[in-house]
């Protein structure tokens, strides 16, 4: 039985670093924005409409081959800690984490496929895979999309394509994004140049972790900006092509880093490991910074343990919502830092 607890006890499949180019690309996510024909979009719908959509999606999910045993979490009943955990696991958005009527999230096994119901659109289907695999992820989410359409009947026009609440998503409704770890380019001061050329190619780039402050740890999200006028596969291929090119540049930068400042880099990586493996209080930002440095070291083979998968997992489970859920209450800041340090030490010791 797939439950919230079992989800927490097992890392999501996309964290396992088994995908192509997982040393640079953590994950690929493809999401589709869909609305049900004949029902107002969530921002204009009545509570009854929204609950009706919720029930139809739940039924459609039960009848689909891919979400049969899915875990369904009702946002009207979820605690703040549960909501934060869902955001941190990339299963819901910040916007979704408030208790509006009819909001549920449907989560398939290993968190590969999931659906947000009644966020900005009635349905946001997503597929997250490890490493760089936009086309594969698109094909998988496309299969479940077809299954759901059989029961839901999507709002669609032959001119505009799939109709969405925000015109930025109209057409294919597809957003393909990769989460890239670009520490080499950041350290070699080449990141700005690379990001500029990426945005010229019509893709958007933004810093990933860090709440509104600096892009922490060299994590960037690269995704398609437009959704209309191209086929879904073309969009996925474009992201794949551009991301592969970025991977090439990142690997060059990492090689230069090893060549020109190898000793300093090795020192920083081992210091990061040392602190993470021994510290008694670790703040969120410090944890992100050190984990990122450790991740670079693991990818370059500078340290043998832990593996990439373990570091990926640290990035998720050390975030505030996860700690708060584990605590069961609302831990004070220092208590949270202590819990984080304990958790990191435990996780790293398990890799020995």
Partner 1 sequence: MCESCRRRPATIQYAEVVDGEMTTFNLCEECARERGVAMSFAPFAGPLVSILMGLLEEAGERGEAEERGPVCPGCGLSYREFRTNGRLGCAECYEAFADELRPVIRRIHGSTRHSGGVPESLAEGADSQGRMRRLRGELEAAVRSEEYERAAELRDEIRDLERGLAADGGTDVDV
Contact between 101 and partner 1 by CB under 8 A: the answer reads no
CA-CA-CA-CA torsion sign (203, 209, 214, 219):
negative
Q: Output 126 or 227, the one with its CB closest to partner 1.
A: 227
The neighbouring-strand residues paired with 123 are 34, 117
Stretch (H or E) spanning 27: strand 25-34
Q: Is 150 in the site for partner 1 (CB under 8 A)?
A: yes
Is the Cβ of residue 81 or residue 236 nearer to partner 1 in the bound state?
236
175 vs 336, which CB is nearer to partner 1?
Answer: 175
Among 6, 79, 225, 278, binds partner 1 (CB under 8 A): 225
Stretch that binds partner 1, among 79-87, 106-114, 207-215, 296-304 (CB under 8 A): 207-215
Closest separation between CB of residue 18 and partner 1, Å?
Answer: 28
Q: Does 329 bind partner 1 (CB under 8 A)?
A: no
Cα 29–Cα 154–Cα 135 angle in degrees, nearest 5: 25
- Using CB under 8 A as the binding rule, the residues of this chain from 111 to 130 that contact partner 1 are 120
| Element housing 115 (H / E) | strand 113-117
User: How far is the C-alpha of 205 from the C-alpha of 162, rounded, in Å?
Assistant: 24
* Closest by CA position to 243, among listed 2, 12, 30, 72: 30
* 23, 142, 286, 337: residue in contact with partner 1 (rule CB under 8 A): 142
Q: Does 167 bind partner 1 (CB under 8 A)?
A: yes
Applying CB under 8 A, the site for partner 1 has a residue count of: 63
User: CB of residue 63 vs partner 1: minimum separation in angstroms?
Assistant: 15
Name the phi and psi angles at 338, rounded to 5: -70, -45
Does residue number 174 form part of the binding site for partner 1 (CB under 8 A)? yes
Q: Site mask, partner 1, residues 187-206, x = CB under 8 A?
A: --xxxx--xx--xx-x-xxx
Instruction: Report the length, in residues, of the chain.
Output: 352
Site for partner 1 in 27-56 (CB under 8 A): 35, 37-41, 43-44
Chain center to CA of 123 = 17
Nearer to partner 1, 210 or 283 (CB): 210
Closest CB 213 distance from partner 1, rounded Å: 7
- Give the span between the Cα atoms of 189 and 184, in whole angstroms: 9
Quick one: 201 or 277, whose CB is closer to partner 1?
A: 201
Q: Does 248 bind partner 1 (CB under 8 A)?
A: no
Nearest residue (CB) to partner 1, 123 versus 282? 123
Is there a contact between 172 and 231 (Cβ–Cβ < 8 Å)? yes
Q: How far apart are CA 193 and CA 340, in angstroms?
A: 35
Q: Is the dihedral of CA 282, 285, 286, 292 positive or negative?
A: positive
Residues 6+ apart with CB under 8 A from 332: none
Phi, psi of 230 (to 5 degrees): -130, 155
> In this chain, which stretch among 70-78, 210-218, 297-305, 319-327 interacts with partner 1, using CB under 8 A?
210-218
By CB under 8 A, name the binding residues for partner 1: 35, 37-41, 43-44, 120, 142, 146, 149-150, 153-172, 174, 186, 189-192, 195-196, 199-200, 202, 204-207, 210-215, 220, 225-232
């Amino acid at each position: 039985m797939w439950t919230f607890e079992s989800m927490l006890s097992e890392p999501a499949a996309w964290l396992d670093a088994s995908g192509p180019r997982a040393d640079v690309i953590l994950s690929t996510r493809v999401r589709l924005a869909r609305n049900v024909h004949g029902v107002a979009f969530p921002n204009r719908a009545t509570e009854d409409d929204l609950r009706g959509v919720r029930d139809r999606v739940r039924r459609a999910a039960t009848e689909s081959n891919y979400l049969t045993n899915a875990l369904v979490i009702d946002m009207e009943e979820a605690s703040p800690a549960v909501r934060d955990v869902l955001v941190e696991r990339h299963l819901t958005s910040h916007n979704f984490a408030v208790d509006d009527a009819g909001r549920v999230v449907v989560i398939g096994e290993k968190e590969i496929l999931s659906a947000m119901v009644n966020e900005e659109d009635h349905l946001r289907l997503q597929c997250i895979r490890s490493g760089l695999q936009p086309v594969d992820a698109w094909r998988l989410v496309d299969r479940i999309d077809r299954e759901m359409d059989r029961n839901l009947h999507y709002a669609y026009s032959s001119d505009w394509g799939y109709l969405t609440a925000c015109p930025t998503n109209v057409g294919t409704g597809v957003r393909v994004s990769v989460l890239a770890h670009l520490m080499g380019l950041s350290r070699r001061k080449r990141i700005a140049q690379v990001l500029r050329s990426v945005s010229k190619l019509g893709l958007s780039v933004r810093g990933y972790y860090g709440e509104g402050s600096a892009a922490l740890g060299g994590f960037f999200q690269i995704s398609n900006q437009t959704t209309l006028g191209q086929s879904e596969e073309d969009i996925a291929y474009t992201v794949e092509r551009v991301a592969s090119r970025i991977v090439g540049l990142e690997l060059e930068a990492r090689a230069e880093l090893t060549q020109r400042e190898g000793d300093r880099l090795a020192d920083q990586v081992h210091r990061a490991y040392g602190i993470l493996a021994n510290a008694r209080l670790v703040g969120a930002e410090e944890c992100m910074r050190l984990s990122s440095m450790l991740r670079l070291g693991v990818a370059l083979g500078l340290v043998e343990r832990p593996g990439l998968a373990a570091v990926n997992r640290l990035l998720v489970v050390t975030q505030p919502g996860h700690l708060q859920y584990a605590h069961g209450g609302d831990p004070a800041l220092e208590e949270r830092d202590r819990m984080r340090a304990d958790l990191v030490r435990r996780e790293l010791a398990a890799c020995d």
